[in-house]
Amino acid sequence: MMCIRCRWTPENVEGSFLENDILLSRQEMTQFSTPISDHRNEIIDVPGATDDQIRELLAFHNKAWGASRTPAHWRWEYQDFLPEKAVVAVARKDGRIIGTQCAMPVPMKVEGRVVLSGKSENTLLLPEFRGLGIMEDLYEFMVEECKVRGLRFLWGFTDAERAFRRFGFFVHPVVEIWSRPGFDLATGLVSRWREPRAISRRVLSMGKAGVDFFRTLPRFLSNDSGLGAESIPVSQLVAGESGERGGILHRGPASVVGQELSDGFLEWRVSRHPFLQYTARKIHDAHGEAGFSLVSLHQKKAALSYWEGTDEGNLKGLLVNFVQMSQFKNAQLTVLTNSGRDDHPMRRDLLLRQGFRPTHCTNLVIRDLSEILTGTLLEPTGWLLNGLWTEGYAL
């Protein structure tokens, strides 16, 4: 078996992945739920999903979130990378969707071993059905299918801490989003005004953005100088047939849990991303290559998606480089960090010195489905979290 679009083969990963490579038909996977309610759970066949099914799923989410995601978004998220491993579960009542719970397949390196994980996505239940146990029932239904497809653990970022505890997750409040305004204040204000929120919330958000802008103004003019960073085309991140791709991105820092940056993953996630435009930078010191960063751009928002260096000076060089190349053209600059990591105090100081502030803190939630990873997995200290884990999925 080989995924043609992403050139990924299961030989890279441990055996259980293959043993469980079974696709059940939609009929087989349809289940009538326990007496909690008369809803009905169902698995959507992702590789074979029809336009009508995709439109129905999108309409459900777009209405609830005031969003405008298109079939192209959905297809990129679920069908363009390991689609046969993705799980999309829905709860229906009287034929209409009342809830969804999905898992996107993401290969991970856990203590040097590659295992398949699932990113918990699209957790949503209509308000009138909440608090009745329907989502717990749908979640367990989805988990059974995840196990069948060889997903060894589930993870996600969420504010819904109490709900995810009930779904059997460990909750670690370690995810921090750092932001600072860019020089393009007008775009920042217009995008806040267009947010699907109450007028009072939008006005408050615009006021905060204005204050932040003037607070950061001196930074626009007097930035520290970064080390010389070399720009490299993102197409070079993929080794291709030559198998040659050096770089700190691929060696990765000594971390316990990180995304497996295979060619297929990088092509899908970075170099051929349909909505985010990525750029890459490398820096060198006397010992050779010493730092690597990825920056994503979308609608005048720039994010430092990957930020790894061998020491504080190299991390600083990459951060300053990000600020200098992004601040004048964009409305907002963001960085996602794991406050549980050992080097977090250093990163925090660097961010503060560049005018960033932590604007949102949320939870990393983890559920082990294999019972062999427990321990390593549930300790967030070694999780190499960054923007690549989350950005671009729910645009």
Ligand X SMILES: CC(C)(COP(=O)(O)OP(=O)(O)OC[C@H]1O[C@@H](n2cnc3c(N)ncnc32)[C@H](O)[C@@H]1OP(=O)(O)O)[C@@H](O)C(=O)NCCC(=O)NCCS
**Min CB(139)–ligand X separation in Å:** 8
Q: In angstroms, give the least distance from the CB of 286 to ligand X.
A: 45
One of 159, 230, 312, 349 touching ligand X (CB under 6 A): 159
Cβ 244 to ligand X, closest distance in Å?
39
Q: Are strands 31-32 and 277-285 parallel, antiparallel or unpaired?
A: unpaired
Angle at 275 between CA 352 and CA 10, to 5 degrees: 95
Where do we find the tokens 């060696």? 251
Among 131, 218, 228, 240, binds ligand X (CB under 6 A): 131
Contact present, 361 and 229 (Cβ < 8 Å): no
Q: What six digits make up the tokens of 372?
A: 């062999």
Task: Determine, following the binding rule CB under 6 A, whether residue 234 of this chain makes contact with ligand X.
Answer: no
103 binds ligand X (CB under 6 A): no
CB of 165 to ligand X, least distance (A): 9
> Would you say 280 and 233 are in contact if contact means Cβ atoms under 8 Å apart?
yes
- For residue 26, what are its two tokens? 């939609």
Taking CB under 6 A as the binding criterion, the range among 104-112, 154-162, 171-179, 342-350 that sits at the site for ligand X is 154-162
Candidate segments 89-97, 122-130, 265-273, 368-376, binder of ligand X by CB under 6 A:
122-130
Of 125-133, 170-178, 337-345, 348-356: span binding ligand X (CB under 6 A): 125-133
Does 135 bind ligand X (CB under 6 A)? Our answer is yes
163 near ligand X, rule: CB under 6 A: yes
Tokens 């087989």 sit on residue:
28
Point out which span in 119-127, 268-276, 286-294, 387-395 binds ligand X (CB under 6 A). 119-127
Does the footprint of ligand X cover residue 130 (CB under 6 A)?
Answer: yes
CA 202/CA 197 separation, integer angstroms: 6
Rule CB under 6 A: choose which of 79, 100, 117, 123 binds ligand X: 123
Q: Which is nearer to ligand X, 139 or 322 (CB)?
A: 139
Q: Which stretch binds ligand X (CB under 6 A): 156-164, 272-280, 325-333, 376-384?
A: 156-164
Binding ligand X (rule: CB under 6 A), the pick from 128, 162, 200, 225 is 162
Q: Can you tell me whether residue 363 is helix, strand or coil?
A: strand
Q: Which residues of 170-205 are buried (b: 16+ CB within 10 A; e: fewer)?
A: bebebbbbbbbbbbbbebbbebbeeeeeeeeebeeb
Rg (CA), the chain: 21
Q: Are strands 301-309 and 153-158 parallel, antiparallel or unpaired?
A: unpaired
Token readout for 285 is 């010191």
Q: By CB under 6 A, name the one of 124, 171, 227, 297 that touches ligand X.
A: 124
Measured from the CB atom, is 77 or 308 closer to ligand X? 77
Count how many residues are written for the chain. 395
The whole-angstrom separation of Cα 382 and Cα 318 is 21
Distance CA 257, CA 255 (A): 6
Q: Kindly list the residues in this chain that would bind ligand X in the complex (CB under 6 A).
A: 123-125, 130-131, 135-136, 158-160, 162-163
